[in-house]
């Protein structure tokens, strides 16, 4: 059977949750035995999100093949078992780059190159390429909002796909907004009517409407929307706000979204099996206790900068039936530059665990070093990712091994002791991203280490996104001081994991484990970090209780 397609578009405003909607539909169809693949088209002219500001675009999600992609691909992988690659995320910039390369090569045989048919053909070919890997259904999300000029080529391409494949092989799902107007004390359907009309003006009739709202849609309102928008009444779906995003597939199942999609695609499939998701949601709403993690980062003003990181912590907390409480700490605020500033120790007191995530550039690094020193000396569970591993090595070199001038050549190219440096540049290695190490790399773990105990094996593969590496010239000095290098590439060139043995939990990894965590399959290191943090919470609670008892006596 050739693959069928579900196209997900959005109207009225951005950030309505198209990515989560696509992922949730994929989750439901996968639970019914179908093989799913997903892809995202982004209308901006950047070739990929790799050079975009985290403050504006959020995190860059990295796939096994080293593609720097949109954060929605993280939702796709967390909600399904689809194996994604650079084929699953294309931007206007990359599409135009491909077309211009072909034109310069003479592939168009001197023809005038135009949006229709050349750009739309390129978009359709990309969809067919993803579909060719054996999927039963390909879910395609179109970024942006209907009515934006930059989205028009993508909308035209999916309009053509319906013409070419027929109604029984394509479904249009439109995510829209039904706002509650407080002054009038009523829900308003007009924004939905207008965006469906806008979609219809370019030749696309929506089949299913996912109406984002903060309350249930009354049946008479669903009937009104169905009448004005030319869809079945049961195809007007209440996409109500939920406390946990992992409730979304269950909410869609209750509204019968998957049943509708299968009906329109003429697919017979077994009943859905969502017991594991129900258990996860039950845990999310019925935790036995709370675990409090402090995240010391560069981009904390915009949580989407650390989307996968936050979700990986949520997955780990759910595995232990705990509620995750996160405090975002601006690293620069821990530097104590201004006299009278609250000390970094006071700002870090009370966390069950401390995590320093990845980042680029020297801003806030001294604050990260202070946080790491506090975690190491106060025996607070510590987890460092990418930059968080590099700064852990620098802190150890400075404050344990006595190398006060220890640094990274990223922060000080003339540093006397370059504990972290751009090894790949010295080796003359050039690949995607220049000297960037991207995508999946194998790693060998030391038996008996925290990492090996977490994974339960000695050979793993994890995803990377960085330029700078641990300098093995300082290995003897740091290991002599008590640091352990417990993970390396198979050829021993790159150091992947460092640990401090005489500590409740102190681990830094050069890779980004958050990219491979799923709600039903929490990442092993995150799982064990949260377990250690909760153990610290319980121990701290006992210590406080004993101190209070002593005071009373």
User: Which residues are marked as active site?
Assistant: 386, 512, 514
In this structure, how many other beta carbons lie within 10 angstroms of the beta carbon of residue 209?
A: 26
CA neighbor of 59 nearest in space, from 51, 70, 67: 70
In this structure, how many other beta carbons lie within 10 angstroms of the beta carbon of residue 524?
A: 21
Which secondary-structure segment (H or E) carries 162? helix 152-165
Cβ-defined contacts of 405-409 (< 8 Å, 24+): 408/468, 409/468
Pairing of strands 437-445, 459-466: antiparallel
**Distance (Å, whole) CA 69 – CA 313:** 21
**Distance (Å, whole) CA 178 – CA 187:** 6
- Give the tokens for residue 18: 């198209």
Q: What are phi and psi of 233, to 5 degrees?
A: -65, -35
**Distance (Å, whole) CA 74 – CA 453:** 26
In this structure, how many other beta carbons lie within 10 angstroms of the beta carbon of residue 10?
A: 28
Asked whether 371 and 296 are in contact (CB, 8 A), the reply is yes
Is the previous residue joined to 117 through a cis bond, with omega within 30 degrees of 0? yes
Give the residue carrying structure tokens 């002599």: 480
Beta strands in 92-151 (DSSP E): 137-142
Alpha-carbon distance values, 1 to 8, 33, 166 (Å) = 22, 15, 15
Strand partners, 384: 356, 508
């Amino acid at each position: 059977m050739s693959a069928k397609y579900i196209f997900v578009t959005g109207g009225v405003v951005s950030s309505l949750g198209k990515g989560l909607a696509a992922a949730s539909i994929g989750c439901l169809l996968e639970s019914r035995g179908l093989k799913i693949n997903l892809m995202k088209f982004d209308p901006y002219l950047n070739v990929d999100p790799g050079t975009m500001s985290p403050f504006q675009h959020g995190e860059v999600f990295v796939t096994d093949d080293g593609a720097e992609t949109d954060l929605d691909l993280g939702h796709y992988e967390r909600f399904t078992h689809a194996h994604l690659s650079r084929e699953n995320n294309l931007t206007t910039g990359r599409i135009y780059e491909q077309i211009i390369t072909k034109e310069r090569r003479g592939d168009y045989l001197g023809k005038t190159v135009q949006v229709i048919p050349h750009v739309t053909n390129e978009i359709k070919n990309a969809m067919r390429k993803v579909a060719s890997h054996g999927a039963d259904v390909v879910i395609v999300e179109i970024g942006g909002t209907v009515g934006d000029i930059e989205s028009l080529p993508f909308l035209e391409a999916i309009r053509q796909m319906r013409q070419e494949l027929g109604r029984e092989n394509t479904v249009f799902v439109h995510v829209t907004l039904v706002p509650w107007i407080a002054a009038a004390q009523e829900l308003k359907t007009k924004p939905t009517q207008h965006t469906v009309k806008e979609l219809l003006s370019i030749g696309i009739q929506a089949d299913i409407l996912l109406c984002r709202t903060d309350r249930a849609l009354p049946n008479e309102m669903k009937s009104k929307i169905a009448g004005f928008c030319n869809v079945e009444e049961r195809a007007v779906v209440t996409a109500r706000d939920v406390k946990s995003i992992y409730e979304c597939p269950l909410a869609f199942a209750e509204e019968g979204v998957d049943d509708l999609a299968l009906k329109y695609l003429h697919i017979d499939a077994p009943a859905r099996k969502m017991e594991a998701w129900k258990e996860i949601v039950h845990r999310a709403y019925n935790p036995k206790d709370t675990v409090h993690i402090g995240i010391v980062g560069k981009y904390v003003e915009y949580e989407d900068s650390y989307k996968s990181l936050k979700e990986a912590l949520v997955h780990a907390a759910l595995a232990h039936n705990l509620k995750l409480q996160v405090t975002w700490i601006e690293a620069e605020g821990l530097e104590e530059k201004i006299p009278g500033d609250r000390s970094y120790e006071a700002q870090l007191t009370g966390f069950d665990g401390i995590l320093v995530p990845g980042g680029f550039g020297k801003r806030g690094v001294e604050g990260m070093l202070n946080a790491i020193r506090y975690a190491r000396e106060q025996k607070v569970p510590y987890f460092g990712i990418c930059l968080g591993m590099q700064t852990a090595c620098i802190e150890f070199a400075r404050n344990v091994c006595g190398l006060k001038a220890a640094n990274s050549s990223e922060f000080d190219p003339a540093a006397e002791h370059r504990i972290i440096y751009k090894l790949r540049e010295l080796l003359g290695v050039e690949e995607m991203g220049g000297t960037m190490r991207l995508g999946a790399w194998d790693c060998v773990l030391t038996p008996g280490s925290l990492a090996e105990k977490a994974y339960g094996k000695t050979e793993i593969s994890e995803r990377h996104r960085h330029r700078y590496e641990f300098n093995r010239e300082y290995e003897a000095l740091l290991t002599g001081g008590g640091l352990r290098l417990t993970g390396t590439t198979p050829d021993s060139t790159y150091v992947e994991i460092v640990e401090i043995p005489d500590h409740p939990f102190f681990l830094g990894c050069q890779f980004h484990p958050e990219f491979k965590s799923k709600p039903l399959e929490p990442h092993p290191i995150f799982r064990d970090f949260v377990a250690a943090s909760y153990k610290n919470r319980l121990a701290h609670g006992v210590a406080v209780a004993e101190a209070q008892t002593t005071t009373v006596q």
